[in-house]
Structure 1
């Protein structure tokens, strides 16, 4: 989380925020304010030409009001010190004052001409969620498992989303990964003739037996609360039976709805009819079948990637189970089985969520922090090669789009803290490039969502890999070197460029023109989360805005 320093002005005792008595209010405000301001800089102020350099600050205009910030970290937009806005009272000379979240929200709404009555409440809900998370986290015991500790470290959430922690529904703190929650799934029995499943579902059977004529189906307790009205009929007439809490607790990972089961070492991806960032997190019926189909198709692809780039791993999704009780319950009760990371990482290798590495030190093993600080440029070079090379090869050589953003990648470290493996997960966002794969025989409703055309696929690869992932980790790595962050950041991107040029020379095919353009300095695509949230549109409709390419070689820089 960025630290926005408190202003030097003494507070007026008559205008004190009642939240000021809450020790978690200030960091929650900082997180929410920073996220919205980053969105504005990236998606609106920059493209409209409303951002200008002024000494150590960037000055931008929001609804005609000058706002200034100190920014580091390149396109990651990390803030040093508090955002300020120019305040003029009764015609007097303007004075710079700290900018608070309600003021920024009001400016954004005015600039965008209103039209979204939900927006302010969503931003405020995100702020309150962070405060509640911090309060609950202070009382909780983190998991001993270092991978799970990293999964549960994302307190502030997506740094470029206007309301990254706003979650619909009640009772979510009991199931939030950031609060170090653990809970027992509820076990349902589905009448055998109504079971819908494909692939290997043995991990679901391990949660306990069901009465004769029924098949066990673990369910997320929060989801059962959300579906209570729809479940009354099937529970009353015996199509479903409630078998009570499962035999052991599971641990939620960073996505909230995906949990780790220590008993089997597998993960379960539940449906949740809850909006988290831009999406309602349910498993659409075609995604259930799509996960199993992609697992079958990607097994040989990842085998080839692992031979070409040792240390490449993936978490397959070999099966799913649900109940044929209409589309609403088919999707709402659907659960996907996913391989756990400890099953695929090599001996002595510790998986760590890339999101934790990008966010800072929380949830990151001490050995990794020490090795990164001791030799940041060499550590980063190894990191880029482990993560970027297989993602690019999957796209150019195999026609596979991997969503390598920071919540979909685990990086495996050896005992010394050196990056030696990259683990890719979440087949929901994995796509096949149109024309590169024969989908004959698949139902159209399943085949369609599995595919992207090449241009759309490259935008997704470039955004997730370079903007969402590498830029954020690079900004954090550079900040660990006191006093020389800007110089270290330039060195990191120079090394990344050299590594990518080496990859391009050794591995790419004739279809790698998009990478050639990127290495020549073409702008990068950044997902427009503010735009899609303001429009109240589906996440799949989100567009991209161009951002400066940190791989670009400045005039006279190349040796």
Structure 2
């Protein structure tokens, strides 16, 4: 096998210095981490419009990709909705590769070396994340976490379909252990005082974060050390990191989204001044939308947001999704469903799928496409585990159709231009790409399971143009690997996946 050991060896060396007891488990987890990342990469190679792939030959037992330079890359048939690590090796002109970084290097495509470095980091970080997990305690409702942030700590593998699922460049091993939610730390957020007149504030900044004429801005310790170059603040908030790492839960209280100018998975995670300015309007708009769902969907509020001169020093003060759950109910991100036994029941998955599609399509008909992936979309469960309703958080990347809102008598909020579009393709991409190809696919775990869950739900939905598209068209999804290989192309790029409702899926080759 061809395997560059650099990233894996570097993490092992750092780990030996800070947590030597984890080194044996880390070494044991590397093989599975390579397969997990390779499976995600193989999905991209099989379904994304990569310009150096000129053909795809899909057989019952194998998939063969023809490369522009005449080489052939072969591997198992690719289920675009599979979450299991089912690809352990692929062959490039007969040479086997079990390591995604080595494969990316061997492909020798434009920007491939940068991608290979990220894949190597993703493998090493994923192995580290898996190595630091406690023994399973069971998934029965009586053993479920009491705190919302404890659910988020159970999401160990990161994005279910992105090859860079655990890439955290710029984070040392010690920093991953100290700040990564899957490592279950408590994090001390510094409180940086800034003169009131230097701040853009949306909403009402909390009284406990005021110091006379100065406002206290929560600062992530990684941001303070690497970006702001500030010493540790004496005043701090103890918080627990959520799935996004830069958003943290205060015990028994709200969530705080901090600026973290690092590339996590694909994007640099700052907080734009525009999103701070729009947060109050979005929060109010969210409550209008929630009122139109007949109780199917709650949307968390953002009571306050602040930017102190730049995206590098900003924060959002958010309501916890727990505010949308009642006594005895559980609320957890859809991405955390894999930590329970629930998705393995076809009946449960069908009920959850019906709930999610009904709510998402109702808002789409009104004129709002949610980015309802497994991190933004949460489900409220009864004490026995039945899906009751949904919760949505983080409205910053929704798409809003002024024309559709007007048809339903809903005023158009004052939002940035990037949030507004009447293009039905753009609206469907936003919802279907995140909900169907993201949250629902991640919960189902395979194309056949996703199709079985979708079929009864879609069958009973009204025949709107959006539903007809969902029934018969390929499913849009972001071309995540193409985007990483196209650093000069701004914005999202898209591809299409075979529709799991179609018995003879349309081929997705060039």
| TM-score normalised according to structure 1 size | 0.76
> Within 5 A, what are the aligned runs for 1:128-207?
128-137=124-133, 144-145=145-146, 147-171=148-172, 172-173=175-176, 174-202=178-206, 205-206=207-208
Q: Work out which of the residue numbers 248, 270, 274 in structure 2 matches 1:259.
A: 248
Tell me which residue corresponds to 2:351.
382
The alignment status of 1:403 with 2:371, answered yes or no, reads yes
Aligned partner of 1:69 in structure 2 is: 76
1:458 is aligned to: 428
**Take 1:245 and 1:157, find their aligned partners in 2: how far apart are those partners?**
31
Q: Deviations over 1:431-459 (max 9, x none)?
A: 211434588895xxx53133133331221
Asked whether the equivalents of residues 259 and 269 of structure 1 are also in contact (C-alpha less than 8 Å), the reply is yes
Q: Secondary structure at 1:320's aligned position in 2?
A: strand
- The alpha carbon displacement at 1:260 in A equals 0.8
For residues 385-416 of structure 1, give each alpha carbon's deviation from its aligned partner in whole angstroms, at most 9, with x where no partner exists: 221111111111x2112101111111111111
The 3-state SS of whatever aligns with 1:273 is strand
Q: What are structure 1's unaligned runs of at least 5 residues?
A: 1-8, 89-95, 233-241, 479-485, 506-511
Residue of 287, 298, 304 corresponding to 1:313:
298
Deviations along 1:186-237, one digit per CA (max 9) or x if unpaired, are 11222233333121332xx436x63x432322221111113335x69xxxxx
Distance 1:245 1:57, change over 3 A: farther
**Structure 2 CA distance for aligned equivalents of residues 24 and 167 of structure 1:** 18
Alpha-carbon distance change, 69 to 184 in structure 1, aligned in 2, over 3 angstroms: same
> Which of the numbers 452, 456, 473 marks the counterpart of 1:498?
456
Residues 473-502 of structure 1: per-residue CA shift (max 9 Å, x gap)? 2226x9xxxxxxx5xx2xx52452232232
Q: Distance in 2 between matches of 1:57 and 1:333?
A: 50
CA, structure 1 residues 372+122, in 2 after alignment: closer, same or farther (shift >3 Å)? closer
Pick closer, same or farther for the CA change 1:223–1:115 going to 2, 3 Å: closer
- What is the alpha-carbon distance in structure 2 between the residues aligned to residue 465 and residue 406 of structure 1? 8
Report the CA distance shift for 1:97/1:385 in structure 2 as closer, same or farther (over 3 A): same
Q: Distance in 1 between matches of 2:52 and 2:363?
A: 32
Residue aligned with 1:76, SS: coil
Query: SS at the partner of 1:332?
Result: coil
Compared CA separation, residues 102 and 432, structure 1 to 2 (3 A) = closer
Q: Distance in 1 between matches of 2:495 and 2:197?
A: 49
Question: Alignment partner of 2:245: what SS?
Answer: coil
Displacement after TM superposition at 1:267 (Å): 0.7
Distance 2:385 2:52 in 1: 40
What does 1:121-520 correspond to in 2, within 5 Å?
121-137=117-133, 144-145=145-146, 147-171=148-172, 172-173=175-176, 174-202=178-206, 205-206=207-208, 210=211, 212-229=212-229, 244-246=234-236, 248-263=237-252, 265-305=253-293, 307=294, 310-323=295-308, 326=309, 328=310, 331-357=311-337, 360-361=338-339, 364=340, 369=341, 372-373=343-344, 376-396=345-365, 398-436=366-404, 442=414, 447-454=416-423, 455-475=425-445, 489=449, 493-504=451-462, 512-519=464-471
CA distance in 1, matches of 2:302, 2:194: 22
Q: Does 1:38 align with 2:55?
A: no
Q: TM-score, normalised by structure 2?
A: 0.82
8 A contact 2:105–2:113 mirrored in 1:
no
* Residue number in structure 1 paired with 2:501: 551
Once residues 148 and 114 of structure 2 are traced to their aligned partners in structure 1, the CA distance between those partners, rounded to angstroms, is 36
Q: Displacement, 1:517? A: 2.8
- Asked if 2 retains the 8 angstrom alpha-carbon contact of 1:531 and 1:542, the reply is no
Report the aligned-residue RMSD.
3.4
Query: In structure 2, how many angstroms separate the alpha carbons of the residues matched to 1:522 and 1:121?
Result: 36
- Name the CA distance, whole Å, in 1 between partners of 2:51 and 2:157: 24
1:8-47 matches, cutoff 5 A: 22-44=27-49
**Partner Cα separation in structure 1 for residue 52 and residue 169 of structure 2:** 31
Q: Distance in 2 between matches of 1:81 and 1:191?
A: 54
Q: Give the superposition deviation at 1:150.
A: 2.7
